[in-house]
Structure 1
Amino acid sequence: MRLKGKVVIITGAASGIGRASAKRFCEEGATVIACDLNEELLKSLVDEAKGLPGEIVAKKLSVTDRKAIEKLVEELKEKYGKIDGLVNNAGITRDALIQKMSEEDWDIVIDVNLKGVFNMTQFVVPVMLSQGYGSIVNTSSVVGVYGNIGQTNYSATKGGVIAMTKTWAKEFTRKGSNIRVNAVAPGFIKTPMTEKVPEKVIKYMEEKIPLKRMGNPEEIANVYLFLISDESSYITGQVIGVDGGLVL
């Protein structure tokens, strides 16, 4: 098993890519700390994972709540003595053209998608530095590289995630620690976030994708698995696009 004995935190783990990743990691023997605000979906995730080689531990958590994050990290240190991996997956959208985007919609997307990644990493990385190793995967997006109409706030956060990824890949290794930091930039993926997209828009997007279809959450989860595992031991500071060829 590729993650046997590893302790990995996944944020936004109750649905979509986060949920698929939690189950995939559990299949490979990891103890997954599944963090989300939706307790009902977390409970069903734990139930679905019963019988798998690893374990899923559900934790209600907002990535905007620094005190709760600090408490969680202290609990994990005490119980497991280590944190092998962190997947900063939690994210939201509040789309609108810039002329119509409210300050509230700007602030909440920045708070969750950008500052949330900062919050989680700031509390987790001291554990990784003390143990001398770790792998962090940050969820970006193709729109963080190329932009998208009506997503000023979302694009800004996903571009910021890439900048933090590259900075941390340099910063966390400067004293010899083996801490890898990478970003994944999904394309058009079937998740609750894209369920709100009109059918005609989906068909239009599928025609633009060389593989002619949307991606599945499991296809992103497999890339996360690779980056958290020791198989990617010489990869850091990279942005890996998983978009069916949408961006070439």
Structure 2
Amino acid sequence: MEIYVFDNSFEGFMTLIFDYYVRKPKAIKVYAERDFQPSMFEETHEVITDIEKAKRVHQSLKSKLYGTNYKALQAVFLCEEVDAYQQLFHYCCLILDNSADIQLNYGNEYVFYVMKMYRSVHREKHHYEAFIRFEQINKDLFFAKVEPKYNVLPIITNHFRKRYADQNWLIYDLIRKYGIIYDKKSGEIQEVQLNFTPKSSTIPSEYIDVNEQVYQELWKSYFKSSNIVARKNTRLHVQVLPKRFWKYLTEKQI
């Protein structure tokens, strides 16, 4: 079995599929560079990302995939689980080699895996669209830290662009060490790399806008006053709002 290694990018993964059809090996094992451990006993093909090749494969897949299934393709790639790329590779080949209806065959192991993982990533996406809390820091910038299970920043961008179009904001992924920043003047979003390794879940007070602390206290007061102790249901509360989000929620820092 030949090992195919791509450069972690979606374009690299699409190029890998192109190379597979050109080279036509019997079977391959797919790895992203970040997960690959070289072995002297296995033949390795290092995929060189080619935008034109990637576009051809991407367009072929997009033309055959239904709306939800196309979103599933993107979402599963972002889950970054080691086995996901292998499963997604087989799924893409399945789509390319068969009629479009094959994507509705949930009895197929690759279709089932992709749609199951899509639901997990989509759930994480909705959690972060609902539970992200911004803090206003200097230079007219709203800042939020996140630690998502999956790499959801690329798919939550449009939500925050629409919701906070009149503000400059930055959402930073503490696990993957990158962020997305929005400029309200240009309306553009860019990916940024930062050397940001906070020791706690809060931003040091000297970096926070003076009014931000007032707003946070007001929000805490509102949350506390609107809480009805007699109707407390901790089990349901944790189901709706998992504890892993609590350390970044202002209302939980009471």
Quickly name the TM-score band, shorter chain normalised: under 0.3
Larger Rg: 2
Which protein has the bigger helix share?
2
Q: TM-score, normalised by structure 2?
A: 0.24
